[in-house]
Amino acid sequence: MSHSPNSPDLAVWIERIRGREMPVFARTVAALRHIIGDDRASASALAQVILKDAPMTAKVLRLANSAYFNHSNQAVSTVSRAIVVLGFDPVAELALSVALIDSLLAGGLRGRIHVEMARSFHAAVQARWAVRRRGESQAEEVFIAALLSRVGEMAFWCFGGEQARVLERCMSQAHLSEEEAQQVVLGFSLRHLSAGLVREWRLGALAAAALDGDTRSRGPERAVRLGQRLALAAEGGWSAPVARQVLRETSDYVGVPIDTVREEVVANAAQAARIAASFGAAEAGQIIARSSQEAPSPPEVGPVAPAAVREAPDAELQLRILHDLAAMTLARAPLPEILLRVADGVLRGVACERVVLALLTRDRARLQGRVALGQGAEALCSRFDFSMEGDPDDVLDAAIDSAQACRIDAAGLERSAAARLRQVTGCDEAVLVPFGPVGRQIGVLYADRQGRPFDDEAWRAVQHFALQAGLAAALGALEPVGSRAGS
């Protein structure tokens, strides 16, 4: 069956995704690529592009603090510091990857997109490991190239509409391989869509080489391709013939005995699940964890349950972030960085599921979500928009008018007091803490654990972070504003 990299239908799909389905990502790519390609571009120029997008800023900072990317283990509390610690290009590439994942996660998802995202993260971790095992220095570039090399598959399943449904039926019912089904339904392979989008968005020469280059090459693009094949092979079980063949080729590439390679590759899969969650793709992480077990198990393509494993509160991390916040406040750090660091402290330090910081508009008539972190928190942030009606019996009005912090629980609070908050959040167990200068609250910090209650220790910790936001407000770092950050 012929491949059609120059198919007219392929060109239509590239234009559709670029111009109609993902225009915001296209603009972000253009801004980041302009800076990456300018040898005279400053760190502050890159930081400003990232800071325009509050969720991107939060995720870049979270990744920059992770042991996976931050080998020096230096604390990073600002984007500028991330550039110093990780380097200019790595931070730009992380921002680019975060922008892509966020665009796809916002695009009316179906089960297949989670599968493709899982394959991408799994391939990225395996490819990075392979090139580092060879003692080469392009590990971060290889990671990003592998992560972006299935951009066409991810975008199609996200925005494919009726054609995506037809293709899924063909793949499941006609006993064709994925690529054969794609040729039948679309007239081209989704691999060619990936190659076209990589060129269109200029996502890097290495990603393009991995998609189009010589399969016999032993350069870094070979690591990208091996990462992709390992990710796919894992879905059939590591003992299957296909997996054994890829493990042999990987052993030859990295120069390590195959038994060692197998052991390390299996460990890489567990790490890939954690990395996917760090990028905000928890469902993809769960698929990696399931499909990488020793027994063959095909990837899940239906709805995926949220991760069941929850981290415990981390007092040491709380203290470190509170210290960072104190320094940022004294240095008059920008509004997005202060709020995001507060949200990060509550999310990771207090082990919450969702965190939203909301600010009053200039006329103090509405309370609107401005920064959000956690599973589904960005959607919650967009809905977190309340009129301030001055009702003393309402938890939101009381928080602003009387500076009353509230520990919401199913049994201990009058349901009517939190009725409109619960209608938006859908959660009976939560905390709501106002913050601002003394006598003039400017916003609230909302956090929940998706139904799990807050004990006294966690309740106090959330109040400490809200207090730090209030201190920043008192020193002028935070001011009520009339539009959402990043809009």
Among 256, 291, 326, identify where a domain stops: 291
Q: Average of pLDDT values for 427-438?
A: 90
The domain spanning residue 370 has which CATH number?
3.30.450.40
Asked if pLDDT for residue 16 goes beyond 90, the answer is no
Domains: count for the chain: 2
240, 259, 291: which is the final residue of a domain?
Answer: 291
Q: Do residues 284 and 319 share a domain?
A: no
Percent of the chain with pLDDT over 70: 87
Mean pLDDT of the chain: 82
Please check whether residues 179 and 245 belong to one and the same domain.
Answer: yes
How much is the pTM? Answer: 0.62
Query: How remote is the C-alpha of 257 from its chain's centroid?
Result: 35
- Structural domain includes residue 325: yes
Expressed as residue numbers, the domain containing 75 is 8-291
Relative orientation angle of helices 111-133 and 88-105, to the nearest 10 degrees: 160
In a domain, 185, yes or no: yes
- Is residue 376 over pLDDT 70? yes
327 and 280 in a common domain: no
CB 329 within 8 A of CB 144: no
Verify that 197 and 259 share a domain, yes or no. yes
Least confident stretch, 97-111, 235-249, 464-478: 97-111
- Tell me: do 286 and 349 sit in the same domain: no
Q: What is the pLDDT of residues 44-83, one digit of tens each?
A: 888 888 888 887 888 888 888 888 888 888 888 888 889 9
Nearest in space to 473 (alpha carbons), one of 323, 338, 279, 301: 338
Q: Between residues 322 and 214, which one has the greater pLDDT? A: 322
Distance CA 408, CA 431 (A): 6
Least confident residue range of 131-135, 301-305, 376-380: 301-305
Q: Is 296 domain-assigned?
A: no
The reply to whether 189 and 322 lie within a common domain is no
Q: Name the band, by pLDDT with cuts 50, 70 and 90, for residue 302.
A: very low
pLDDT of residue 174: 65
CB 77 within 8 A of CB 343: no
> What does each C-alpha distance from 384 to 55, 369, 423 come to in angstroms?
15, 5, 10
Average pLDDT over every residue of 468-475:
84
pLDDT at res. 107: 62
Of 461, 372, 383, 454, the residue nearest 421 (C-alpha): 383
What does R_g of the chain's alpha carbons equal in angstroms?
24
CA distance 210 to 60: 25
